[in-house]
Every structure is written in structure tokens, then in C-alpha cells.
Structure 1
Amino acid sequence: MGIGLFISVLCMSAAALLEIKRLQYANELGLIDTEAGVPPSIFLPNPQYILLGSAEVFTFIGQHEFFYEQAPDAMRSLCGAFSLLTNSLGNYLCPLILTIVTYFTTEGGKAGWIPDNLNEGHLDYFFWLLAGLSYLNMLVYLVFARKYKEKKTS
């Protein structure tokens, strides 16, 4: 699970770096103050998708293996359900984070990090925020993983 959490930090960092490059390219083309977008490439987000898929595989499979080996027999299904519940709660948390970021970054009439015209914003800051939150999540996991006493399997 720790490997998956570490890969998720790499994924958000890669997305931030790609956005920095995209903004530099938009600036070179003089598109910052225009509605025109940067000519996209279908292959640009592929590294992030590969990293995100790898992170989910490590985390999800690690959770299920942990529940199967460490949970009491009567609670294995419940633990699997809680795993899916935490996934869905994370999906609800993402719009909340986006709303909070939008609220604080648009104070005073500023464009904010995520405006309608992404060339005027700083989506890279949002990705760095998500990378930081992922890193914090990984640190919390590591603290609990170190304190955990493994159940003896027969």
C-alpha cells in the first residue's frame, strides 16, 4: 500500500510539472490572455494515467490482501466494503477541495488557480496541493503501518 501511496505523489507531481510546461508553452505562443488553448496532444497525460493506474493497483490490491490476511474471518466482507466506502468518500472529498481552493484563490476578484481560461490560472499549484496532500496521506499511513502489530497467520 505504501508503494501505491508513493506513486500517487509521483503522479500528482508529474501532472504539476506537465502543467508548468503547458503554461510556459502558452506564454511562448502568446496565448496567456486569449481564449485560445494550447494545441493539445493526446499523449501528454499518458504518464500520469500510467502512474495513477499503478498507484491504484498497488493500493487496492494491498488493501484487499491486508483485509484477507489480517481481519477476523467474520469481518473480511465488511472490511472490503469499508475499502470501497473510503474510495467513494475520496471521490466526494475532491469537489470539496476544489470548492475550497476556488473560494480562497478568487478572493479580491483574482482569476484564481482554476479559472475558465486555464492559461490565466495556475492549475499547477492545485496539482502541487494534491501532491502535498498525497504525501501527507502517505506519512500518516507510514506512522500507522510502523505501529501495527501483525496478526499471526496459520
Structure 2
Amino acid sequence: MAAAALIERHRLTSSTHGVVLTVFLLMPQFVLVGAGEAFTYMGQLDFFLRECPKGMKTMSTGLFLSTCAIGFFFSTLLVTIIDKITGHGPRSHGGWLADNLD
């Protein structure tokens, strides 16, 4: 969150001066989130493979990955619902999730 706050502060001050920003400013955030998810997923999968009974190892690993997938689908559904409620159409500029961040 601190990396996102610093990048957003830089984006807001740069956009008022007409500076074009690059997508590479998002790299620190994606690296931190990706590393966190990798360590979390590996730790959970290792826990399931070591601690589950012999007949439940495959089932627990499958359930873990299924809950991750359901969470991703729920996140997409939530963004779609918020866009439909707050905006007026798929590419509206009046909703919370507008195309233009400024």
C-alpha cells in the first residue's frame, strides 16, 4: 500500500504538469503483490501436502485452488456490479470506475 501511495502521489503531481507517465511505475506494486502471493500459495500448498491425511491431499489442494478461483470470479463480479450501479453504460465517464483516472 505504501508503494501504491507513493506512485499515486507521483502520478497526481506529474499529471498537472503535462508529463506522460509510463506503465513501468506500476512494477514495484506488482512485484510486491506477486511475491506475497507466491509465498502465501506455496506455504499453504506445503501445509496441505504435509499435514493432511493421505487420502485428503489431492482434495485439499483442489479445494484451495478452487477457493482462489472463486475469489477471483467474485472480485470480477463485484467490479462489474459497481460499474453498472455507479455508471451509465459499459464505458461511462460518470461512474466510480471511469476510464480517465484524473
TM-score per shorter chain, which class?
Answer: 0.7 to 0.9
- Write out the 4+ residue segments of structure 1 that deviate beyond 4 Å after TM superposition: none
Question: Following superposition of structure 1 onto structure 2, how do residues 121-140 of structure 1 map, counting pairs within 5 Å?
Answer: none
Question: Following superposition of structure 1 onto structure 2, how do residues 2-17 of structure 1 map, counting pairs within 5 Å?
Answer: 10=1, 14-17=3-6
Q: CA deviation at 1:41?
A: 2.0
Q: CA deviation at 1:50?
A: 1.1
**1:111 pairs with 74, 83, 94, which one?**
94
Q: Distance in 1 between matches of 2:27 and 2:43?
A: 24
Percent identity between the two aligned chains: 35
Scaled by the length of structure 2, what TM-score is found? 0.75
Question: Following superposition of structure 1 onto structure 2, how do residues 52-63 of structure 1 map, counting pairs within 5 Å?
Answer: 52-63=33-44
Q: Which residue does the alignment assign to 2:11?
A: 22
Q: Distance in 2 between matches of 1:113 and 1:28?
A: 24
Report the aligned-residue RMSD. Answer: 2.5
Q: 1:45 to 1:114 in 2, by over 3 A?
A: same
Matched residue count: 99
Q: 1:114 to 1:91 in 2, by over 3 A?
A: same
Question: Following superposition of structure 1 onto structure 2, how do residues 17-56 of structure 1 map, counting pairs within 5 Å?
Answer: 17-29=6-18, 39-56=20-37
Q: CA deviation at 1:78?
A: 0.8
* Structure 2: tracts of 5 or more residues without a match: none
Q: Distance in 2 between matches of 1:92 and 1:14?
A: 26
Q: CA deviation at 1:44?
A: 0.6
Greater relative contact order: 1 or 2 (C-alpha under 8 angstroms, separation 6 or more)?
1
Give secondary structure in 1 for the equivalent of 2:95. Answer: coil
Q: Which residue does the alignment assign to 1:74?
A: 55
Q: Distance in 1 between matches of 2:34 and 2:77?
A: 23
Q: Distance in 2 between matches of 1:17 and 1:112?
A: 25
Q: CA deviation at 1:104?
A: 4.7
Q: CA deviation at 1:48?
A: 0.9
Q: 1:49 to 1:20 in 2, by over 3 A?
A: same
Q: Say if 2:73 is the partner of 1:92.
A: yes
Q: Distance in 2 between matches of 1:114 and 1:68?
A: 40
Scaled by the length of structure 1, what TM-score is found? 0.53
